Each structure stands twice: as structure tokens, then as C-alpha cells.
Amino acid sequence: VAEDEVLYEVSTDKVDTEVASPASGFLAEIVVAEGDTVDVGAKLAVITTEAPGGGGGATPAAEPAPDDEPPAEESAAEEETPDAEAEAEPQPTPAPKPEPAAEAPEPEAPEPVERTPAPAPTPSTASVPTSPIGGGKLLSPVVRRLVAEHGLDPEAITGSGAGGRITREDVLKVIESGPVEAPTAPAAAPTAPTRAVPAPMAATPGERDTAVPHSNIRKRTAEHMTRSLATSAHVYVSIEVDFEAVERVRRAAKDEWKAAEGFSLTYLPFIARAVVDAVADFPEVNATFGADELIVHHYLNLGVAVDLDYKGLMVPVVHDADGKRLRAIAREISELAGKARTKKLGPDDISGGTFTITNPGPFGTTMTMPIINQPQVAILSTDGVKRRPVVVTGADGSEAIAIHSVGNLTLTWDHRAFDGAYSSGFLSRVRELLETRDWAAEL
């Protein structure tokens, strides 16, 4: 193996992370089989500087040369290795198993996957992924597995990743497009026998159907959302907000802001900032529900849901948001969103959230009722803001019709933790702050 060559993929509840080799050498031993759940800090493999008895080491050493994998991503993965392993190893390979949809309901689903890659005993596994299956291309474990299962030729797949790297999505597109000639079919043969069980499932869809394997993020999201609905007493309250005070400041500052910060000034940071102050007045929305007590957090770690180009959802966390003003919150949200979309989030970036905001507003939604992110007790949805006619009251008490920027905020809350008056009071306070604060002073 070569330094920075992808060795394996680890998975957390929200993140799939490819881990690169910290140094060049030979993969002498694979200690953990695919699909295993191991303790934090457990040894996964052994890399030596000398070829283990049988040679063949020249191949992995030579092949990394054509590797076009992005150094930034690789080094990020390498730097995050200790933390990524610590958080992700509990479920290293649910990602490979996604395609057998029928396995999802079975608690022991990971076991079939463990047996599938059982060929791990041979140290030469380090060479197998890059030569027999990958040809001249280095493939991540997940991509390599999909290629083998479907008898595809990696050389015939155009990679959309940095440097032409083949991603999981590239392989799935080829699978969905229909049969592809596979000159490397013999190489997939060893895997076929162990994948005999999934085969019938792949044949289940009709001629006009396509079976799309669940990604690890999709599987984890499904598990968490189902568990949340079964755990919390979900109730919803929505409120209309006049964003005109925010819009005036945003419109006046947007060009200067974009030039100085490098990203656009949206409504989200204003809403997040209002939430920070509203939580101070209604602290129980920032809590965890226990069997005998409500644990109220005297700090606000604000989770912000980030869409991954329709391929999943991550919730990075702005830690200690209660000590930050609008500009700092906006910067951190932008930075975390960028890291989420480039798969550079570390375990610390997605842990410790105490309250969450989800923002479907850019899609023009009217009212969204999200599911609570456990073990929290509330989540706020920010929907689309549009120019609408509203009734405004003048200084002399007279009323007039004006065109303002108006949108809805919806709070999903756990009725076990508090009641409707409390949740409505919190949401009303958020609205009051958005409509009356001197936002120009915040910038």
C-alpha cells in the first residue's frame, strides 16, 4: 500500500469516512473483517515495511503513482483517522450491505456482510482491490465491493470525483443504466458464491424497476427517524414571521458581505441568532428527556441540517452557539456545510447537538414538520420566505397594506418534555426577535 492510499471506510451514524494509509508499506494482516463492530481504539490491520513472505508487494507500491485522488481529502481522512475510527468503528460496513433491502429489518443484517468479505484472511488483499478488480485504478472499499458484486469493469466507468476518481454514485448510475460488459467477471467470481443470498433480491424488481441500494447514511437515517417517532411524543406548532427587518439589512449588506466573507448572507444565520436568545428565555427546549427528569443544558450546541445534493443528510453542530453573534454563527454554518458536502466532517463536528434547525426554505416550502433529532426535545424548520401583502400599523395607529418578506417557522417538540403554551411561547419569542431586533448592529 502507498501513503494516502484508501485502506477502508468507517461509518458513524451520520458520516461515511474513507481512511487512508498513514505510510507506505505492505498490508501484512487484516485483523477486523468487514461488517464487524469493534471497540474504540481496537487494532484493525497491520502494515509492515517489508513484504510478508510472498512478495507481490511491488504491485501496490507501483500503482499509487496513477492515483489521482485529491490530496486534500486524503490528508483530511488521514488526520481524522483516530477520531473517525473511534466514532465510526462501531458500524464499519453497513454501507456495503445496503443493496439487500430485505436485510434491513433483520437485527443481524450485518452478519451476512461479514461473511461476504470473509476472504480477508489473505494478506494479499491489499493487492486484490487495486489490480484484479480495480485494474489501474484505486477504488474505495465500497466502490470495489459494488464493482465486484455487479461484475463491472472499473476501466469502463467514468469517475466524477476529484482527479477522475470513481465514487459510489458513479457505480450506482452504471448499475441503474442497465447491463454492462464485464471483462473482469472472472475476478468477481470469488465474491459471487458468498453473494448468492442477495442475488434473488436483486431480481425482485420488475423489468421497469431499479433496485437502488441504501447508502449507509440512508440506513442510519431510517433507523434514527423510526426510533425517534417511536420515542418522542411529536407535536407541531407553526408561526408566520414578517422578515422585513431582516430583509432590509440583508439586502443592504449582501454585496459587501459576499465580498468580505466569500459566501452569501441568507436568512438562516438571523434565525439561528434569534434562536440563541429565545433559548435563554425558554431553556427547556434545549434539553434531553430522561426517565425521571428533564436535563436542561446551559449551553447551546446548534445542529444545522445539511443536504448532500439529495444523497443524504448530515447535521453538523455549531458548538457553544450561545456565545456567538450573527457573523460568527454565519461563518461557522458555512464552514460546516462545506465540510459536510466534501466529506471532511470529523466526529466532533457532528456530536453534542442540543437543538437542531433544518432549512428547506430555499426550495420554497410553506410548512415543514421535521422529526426530532434524538435525544433532543425540539427541532425548528425554516420555510420559504416570499414577498406578500401584509397589514402594517403606522406610528399614528393607522393601518395600511405593504409588501413585506414573510415566511413560516415550524417547531416540532416533544410533548413529554413540556406543553403547548411553552413551545408556542418559545416560537413567539423567536418571531419577536426576528421582527424587532436592530440587525444592522449585529453586522
Counting Cα atoms < 13 Å in the Cβ hemisphere of 382 gives: 24
Name the CA radius of gyration of the chain, rounded. Answer: 25
Angstrom distance (rounded) from CA 392 to CA 389: 9
CB atoms inside a 10 Å sphere around CB 222: 12
Q: Is 419 a catalytic residue?
A: yes
SS3 150: coil
Q: Is 396 a catalytic residue?
A: no
H/E run at residue 226: helix 216-231
| Active-site pick, 68, 281, 320, 419 | 419
SS3 348: helix
H/E run at residue 20: strand 16-20
Q: How far apart are the first and last CA of the chain?
A: 50
Q: Is the peptide bond before 96 cis (omega within 30 degrees of 0)?
A: no
Whether residue 413 contacts residue 423, with contact meaning beta carbons closer than 8 Å, is answered with yes
| Active-site pick, 150, 414, 415, 438 | 415
Angstrom distance (rounded) from CA 37 to CA 30: 14
Whether residue 233 contacts residue 414, with contact meaning beta carbons closer than 8 Å, is answered with yes
50 Cβ neighbours under 8 A, 6+ residues apart: 26
Catalytically annotated residues: 415, 419
